[in-house]
């Protein structure tokens, strides 16, 4: 990936680098963070294997989220499953530092990725999914213009029980920067 930087509100998104992998593994293994993630409890070797698969992929854009005020890396986000024929992609975001939760960082990251996806990549649709109990994420996505498309009942096993997954998307014509 080139050295593309995305700047929006309180965050800067810079391309993922190999030196970030330890931090990503730590975030995915933090029980507080992992409570809502799909891929958790991944060893550093597993994260390195994933990185080798995606680092030259045209179907993924991976970024590290930087808090502009402190310069600290606080998470990982991007667009995956890029499909340039159908012009859509899956948005993902992990705010890996709980101290930054509930303070608008997620919203700024989502808006930066929507702007990039719709303006730079010329996408028509961006979609995501999240567990139904992740109310903070659902509020963020709705505030950014995502609408619920469906519900997968009891689709994820987390914390000893099954949970519904909410499917959401936003279309280019619904997006307002």
Q: What token pair was written down for 39?
A: 């891929």
5 backbone dihedrals φ, ψ, rounded to 5°: -120, 135
Catalytic, out of 8, 127, 141, 162: 141
The question of whether 116 is a catalytic residue gets the answer no
Contact of 113 with 78, CB cutoff 8 Å: yes
160 Cβ contact list (under 8 Å, min separation 6): none
50 backbone dihedrals φ, ψ, rounded to 5°: -60, -45
In which order are the strands placed within the sheet that holds 6-8?
6-8, 11-15, 61-67, 73-83, 88-95, 125-131, 161-171, 147-158
Distance CA 137, CA 101 (A): 10
| Catalytic residue ranges | 141
């Amino acid at each position: 990936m080139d050295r593309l930087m995305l700047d929006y509100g309180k965050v800067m998104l810079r391309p993922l680098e190999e030196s970030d992998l330890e931090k990503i593994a730590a975030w995915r293994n933090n029980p507080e963070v992992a409570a809502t993630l799909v891929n958790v409890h991944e060893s550093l070797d597993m994260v390195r294997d994933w990185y080798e698969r995606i680092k030259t992929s045209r179907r993924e854009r991976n970024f590290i989220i930087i808090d502009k005020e402190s310069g600290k890396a606080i998470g990982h986000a991007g667009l995956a499953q890029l499909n340039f024929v159908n012009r859509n992609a899956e948005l993902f975001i992990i705010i890996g530092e709980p101290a930054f939760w509930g303070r608008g960082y997620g919203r700024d990251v989502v808006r930066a990725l929507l702007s990039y996806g719709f303006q730079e990549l010329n996408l028509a649709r961006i979609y995501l999914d999240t567990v139904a109990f992740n109310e903070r994420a659902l509020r963020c996505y709705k505030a950014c213009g995502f609408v619920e498309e469906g519900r997968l009942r009891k689709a994820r096993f987390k914390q000893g029980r099954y949970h519904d997954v909410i499917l959401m998307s936003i279309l280019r014509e619904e997006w307002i920067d």
